[in-house]
Every structure is written in structure tokens, then in C-alpha cells.
Amino acid sequence: MRPSLLAAYVAAALLAGCGGGGGTSPASSIPANNPTNNAPSLSPSDIAQSATDAAFEPIDTGEADAGIGNGGLGTSSASRSAQALPHACKHRTTRTVTVNADNSITVETIHYYDDACTQVERDAIATRAVSGGTETISRTVTTFNQAHAQLGVRKSAYTLTGSTGSGSWTVTSAFYPGTSTTPIAQYGHAASLSASAYTATTGRIANDPKPSINASFGHQAAVNATVAMDSSNDTTFTGTRNGTSFKAGLGGLTLSAAPPFTISGGTQLGSSVLTGSVTFDADGNLAAVSLTGTLPGGNTLVVTSSTAANGAVTVNGTITSPAGTSVATFTTDASGNGILTLANGTQVPIVDWHVVW
């Protein structure tokens, strides 16, 4: 799908959803999935939400981890310094670096819809400071449609100890849809890296207030992977992610305040196992993704990417039932903006790797 059409649809669907209209609730013509081991029956929206949470977690958190490792958030790295980061329009991205009066460093990375860098899609501002040997980063990512209406804001806080090549860090993040001041999603992420060995735990909660959903979904995962950085500072995470999905009434899930980040409350929907790789370029753009996995209820997930001649990346995901029938598909761009489509035709916007029911 062309980015301009994708952005237009996301904007229309999001505005309709926030107004209480637009989209339809999942039709009963799609049969519910009946997991084994006494797990609850899963509706199509349950399957779609738990699957996209599992799919988006390695991309969402991987961007944060890659930015720490390659210096893209203002941290020093073995391959380059923060002062080497600024550049004008390149691959639909610009970057500026400011050294502040208190010696903190602010890095602003803007992703654009167009090759000429005139239509802002995603504006990410990260400020990094060091105190007592500990680095902290405050980052805000604002996503826009092509009319420059705000689709959502993500606010994250990082704490890093050790070095980017052999250290550990935590990230806590909240996502605010549109211009809302109330987050509908949050995650906590703790990672460590030694040589090329990478381990992490993540807990992620999404609250879906739309009347037809009115529920909280969660996903927690443990990762064992390797990290490779090439001569272009592209960073690839390759490994396995073992996770558990949860569901509760709206607001019924709680994320622990400290690592390992775990979820409490609600009901466990089942487990997931994802294997594959995710790659980010030196500017934090998603460059490639290839994931396959099993999901709660025996459903399966395949996520792939393609790259156009101008470098634009499109991500496609397919969620399939144990019987081999389609449950849902999704398409996004490299910034995580796109559309989730259920098998009954219901379409739901995705903004910055979050499903906005």
C-alpha cells in the first residue's frame, strides 16, 4: 500500500474511532477459537490483539535497543559519537544534535512521508544526560498524518548502566492516542548486552476502551538473541521470544514497576513463541523484519517486510487459525503506522506499533 493512502486511511479511521463511529465490531460470523488446556475461548479481536502485541513488541523495543547501541539516542557507541549523527534529508530522515548548556545532548530525528523531507510523519526527540556513571534518556515520539494532524504520542524514559557494548538498561514507555492526555498502552523493558549476546524481558499492556472491545490486553516476553552491527551501523537482533498473553476487563491488568517486567491480573490466554530477526538502520528506521511464531489457541503468525526502490519499507503480517483459515492481516510502514484487517472486513488503525481500536 502506498504511504500516502495508508496515512490517509489511518487518519480517517482514528478520527472515526475517537468519535465513537467508524469501524464495526467483530462479526459473529468469524468463529471463536477454542484453545486447549482449559484456556478461555478467544474471539477474533482477542486473537488479533494478542498476535499484534506479540509481533510489535520486538519491533517497538528493538528500535529503543538499537538506538542505545548505535548512538542514535545520543549515547556514545563503539562505532561513532553523538557529534557525528546530524544530517540533512537522507532516506526520508533528518537529524539534528544539540549540546545543551548543562552538557546534556538532544537528538531530534524526523521521519517523513516523502523523499524530499517536507511531510513529517514521525518526530522523535531524545535528551540524554549522565550523572554518577548512569545515563538517562527522555524520549518523545509524535506521529502525524499527512495533513499534520497528530495521531499519537509515545513518551519513554531510559536508564543505562555500563557501556552500550556491555551493559544493561531499562525502558518504560506510554502511548497516548491522538491528543489524549491519558495513555492507552504502556510497556516496561529491561535488556542487557555482553559481546553479541542479548537478553531482555518485556511487559506490555494495551487498554482498549471502544465499547465493542472494552478490555485490557497484555503480553510479557523473555528474549534470548544475538546482536550484530554491520559497517553501515545497521543493527540486527536474531533470536527467540517466549511470551504469555493476558486479558482482563478495562484497566484490569497491572504492569510491575521494576524489572523483570511482569503482568498481573486478568486471565492468561496462552503462550507464544516467536523466532526470527529484526533489523534497524543507523537512523532508527526499521530496515527488515522476518518473524514466525505460534500464538495462544494454536494460532500462527508470519511477519515479513519488503523494500521499495526508494527504500520505503512495508511490513505485512498474517494471523492464521489452527485450521489454516485467515483470522487477520496487518500492513504498516517502517514507523508502525498502518491497518489491521480482521477476516470479516473490520479495519482498525495501527499507530506507532499500537492497535487503536
171-212 tens-digit pLDDT: 999 999 999 999 999 999 999 988 788 999 999 999 988 888
Tell me the sheet residues that pair with 290. 277
Domain with 170, as residue range(s), is 3-78+136-355
Residue 94 in any domain: the answer is no
Residue 113 in any domain: the answer is no
Residue 172 in any domain: the answer is yes
Q: Is the pLDDT of residue 24 over 70?
A: no
Give percent of the chain above pLDDT 70: 84
Tell me the sheet residues that pair with 10. none
Interacting residues of 282 by C-beta distance below 8 A, sequence separation 6+: 70, 72, 232, 233, 234
Q: Angle CA(113)–CA(117)–CA(119) in degrees, nearest 5? A: 50
Number of domains composing the chain: 1
Give the closest residue to 59 by CA, choosing from 237, 270, 320: 237
Residue 144 in any domain: the answer is yes
Classify the C-alpha dihedral 265-266-271-275 as positive or negative: negative
Residue 153 in any domain: the answer is yes
pTM for this predicted structure: 0.84
The pLDDT tens digits of the residues spanning 70-108 come to: 667 777 554 444 444 789 999 899 999 999 999 999 999
Residue 124 in any domain: the answer is no
Give the closest residue to 298 by CA, choosing from 37, 28, 30: 37
Residue 24 in any domain: the answer is yes
**Residue at grid coordinates 546482536:** 227
Residue 83 in any domain: the answer is no
